[in-house]
């Protein structure tokens, strides 16, 4: 079963495609703007009309394809001329379908697209570069992930926003026996509570106003695969009670049905909160917490893995530079030192967005600029759970990194600026693990 998003403004054609593709998980909207929130469901194939109200199909693909490289985009249009087809392909479309649609041709195209998706899943299943990082903190995290990947027990990923919880969940899936099946991800905070139950459990026709056809929920769709439930702590206590039995036994009911179904989905949960905070929270059920927290993996914030910043930065500069400007973005040592000196409260996501902004705005990372960061470098401190000595060590490291970046790595200049003996300064750098 493939997840397909249909973007078509003609109601009759959209409904015909929904019916024709009913054996798949189908999402459908009438405009590119309405399609934007549905991208959170990570559709595997997008069938998009060329002429749409508002943003055109080509503009939508041009904007979306770089952010969703694993999605296959197919353009549909009555304007079946060669220049239009060429523009669609340049924008990132996989195929170009002229109207009126030939359903036999559509079936062939979708079959080929499905084969490509299957090959991608197999190819990505052994890809160890999905997680970038060689720091001790990240290596410990990966060891925990590798230990639990072959198992079917629930996993709780805990980490600040932007640390890569979904990336790690995909890594676990790709190293599990379920790796050849579709990975399913749901952001519980992004779906209104009134719709979340239907999204997860599914519904029967007539279950509620607007429920005109049977819909399979994510527990059913992910039966042999992995289901990632992000921001599970943002759900209400009432909803938590509804999914507790499914988490515990795999049993569930579609809305409007009294027939019991069973899901064998492997469940991975995620929260931005610390596990001990979640356990003590009055807004999260204790019984659900104990059920999903048998195996907890804490993902370290980027400020605690400074050694990974150059590796991540080079990866994003190469990837985003090629996507935006057609060539890798150079990151000289001076730029890398400034990136290392910054504390990244937004974590890996903020680092990626910063590199992307440099590429879009043409900021030259070889030259210091006030526009390089949204916040002042070296000012973020996290005191939670640290003793006096640990705080002093972290403060000293941030101070040294900050001034080294400002002085382009000139250690003698920094020692003089801080009124420190040069040999003492070098000794402190070595003890802190800062390259000398």
- Specify the pLDDT at position 323: 81
Residue 135 CA, distance from chain mean position? 21
CB 95 within 8 A of CB 113: yes
DSSP annotation of 409: T
Provide CB contacts within 8 A for 209, sequence distance 6+. none
In 3-state terms, what secondary structure has residue 423?
helix
Q: What is the pLDDT of residue 30?
A: 93
Q: Identify the residue with better confidence: 257 or 83.
A: 257
The whole-angstrom separation of Cα 17 and Cα 6 is 8
- Residue 138, CB half-sphere, CA atoms under 13 Å: how many? 23
Q: Where are the strands (E) in 183-299, listed by range?
A: 183-187, 202-203, 215-216, 226-230, 251-252, 261-262, 266-271, 296-298
Express each pLDDT in 107-133 by its tens digit.
999 988 888 877 666 555 444 334 778
Q: Are strands 261-262 and 251-252 parallel, antiparallel or unpaired?
A: antiparallel
What CA dihedral angle connects 405, 298, 346 and 190, to 10 degrees? Answer: 170
Q: Is the dihedral of CA 393, 398, 404, 409 positive or negative?
A: positive
Q: ∠ CA(187), CA(193), CA(198), 5° rounding?
A: 85
Taking residues 411-429, report their average pLDDT.
86
Cis peptide bond upstream of 100, omega within 30: yes
The pLDDT of residue 371 is above 60: no
Contact present, 265 and 256 (Cβ < 8 Å): no
User: Which residues sit opposite 202 in a β-bridge?
Assistant: 216
To 10 degrees, the CA torsion angle through 68, 335, 302, 69?
10
Domains of the chain: 3-125 (3.40.50.2300), 128-298 (3.40.50.300), 304-431 (1.10.8.60)
Among residues 371, 55, 379, 3, the alpha carbon closest in space to that of 184 is found at 3
Whole-angstrom distance, CA of residue 44 vs CA of residue 74: 11
Residue 185 dihedral angles phi and psi, to the nearest 5°: -130, 135
State the average pLDDT over residues 391-399. Answer: 83
pLDDT of residue 214: 85
Q: Does the pLDDT value for residue 265 go beyond 90?
A: yes
Average of per-residue pLDDT across 243-268: 94
Distance CA 161, CA 139 (A): 20
Long-range CB contacts for residues 93-101, cutoff 8 Å, separation at least 24: 93/58, 93/61, 101/13, 101/17, 101/76
pLDDT in tens, 182-211: 899 999 988 888 889 999 999 999 998 878
Place of tokens 């170009």: 96
Distance of CA 163 to the CA centre of its chain: 10
pLDDT at res. 159:
94
> What's the pLDDT score for residue 79?
66
Check whether 394 has a pLDDT greater than 70: yes
| pLDDT of 377 higher than 60 | no
Q: Is the pTM of this model over 0.85?
A: no
């Amino acid at each position: 079963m493939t997840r397909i998003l249909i973007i078509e403004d003609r109601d009759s054609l959209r409904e015909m495609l929904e019916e024709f593709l009913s054996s798949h998980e189908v999402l459908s909207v009438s405009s590119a703007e309405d399609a934007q929130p549905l991208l959170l469901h990570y559709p595997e194939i997008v069938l998009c009309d060329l002429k749409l109200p508002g943003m055109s199909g080509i503009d939508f693909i041009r904007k979306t394809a770089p952010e969703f490289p694993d999605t296959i985009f197919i353009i549909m249009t009555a304007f079946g001329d060669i220049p239009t087809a060429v523009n669609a392909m340049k924008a990132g479309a996989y195929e170009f379908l002229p109207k009126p649609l030939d359903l036999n041709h559509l079936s062939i195209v979708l079959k080929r697209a499905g084969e490509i998706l299957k090959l991608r899943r197999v190819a990505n299943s052994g890809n160890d570069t999905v997680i970038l990082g060689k720091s001790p903190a990240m290596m410990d995290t990966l060891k925990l992930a590798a230990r639990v990947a072959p198992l079917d027990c629930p996993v709780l990923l805990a980490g600040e926003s932007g640390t890569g919880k979904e990336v790690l969940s995909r890594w676990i899936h790709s190293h599990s026996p379920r790796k050849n099946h579709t990975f399913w991800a749901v952001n519980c905070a992004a779906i209104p509570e009134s719709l979340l139950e239907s999204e997860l459990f599914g519904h029967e026709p007539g279950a509620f106003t607007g429920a005109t056809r049977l819909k399979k929920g994510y527990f059913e769709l992910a039966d042999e695969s992995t289901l990632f439930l992000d921001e599970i702590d943002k759900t209400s206590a009432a909803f938590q009670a509804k999914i507790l039995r499914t988490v515990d036994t795999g049993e569930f009911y579609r809305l409007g049905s009294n027939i019991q179904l069973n899901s064998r989905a492997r469940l991975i949960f995620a929260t931005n909160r610390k596990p001990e905070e979640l356990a003590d929270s009055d807004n999260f059920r204790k019984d659900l917490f104990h059920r999903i927290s048998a195996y907890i993996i804490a993902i370290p914030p980027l400020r605690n893995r400074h050694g990974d910043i150059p590796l991540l930065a080079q990866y994003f500069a190469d990837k985003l530079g090629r996507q935006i400007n057609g060539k890798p973005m150079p990151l000289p040592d001076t730029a890398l030192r400034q990136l290392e000196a910054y504390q990244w409260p937004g974590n890996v996501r903020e680092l990626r967005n910063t590199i992307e902004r440099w590429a879009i705005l043409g900021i030259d990372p070889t030259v210091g600029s006030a526009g390089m960061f949204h916040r002042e470098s070296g000012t973020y401190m996290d005191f939670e759970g640290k003793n006096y000595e640990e705080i002093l060590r972290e403060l000293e490291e941030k101070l040294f990194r900050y001034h080294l970046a400002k002085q382009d790595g000139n250690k003698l200049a920094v020692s003089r600026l801080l009124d420190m003996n040069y040999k003492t300064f070098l000794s402190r750098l070595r003890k802190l693990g800062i390259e000398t």
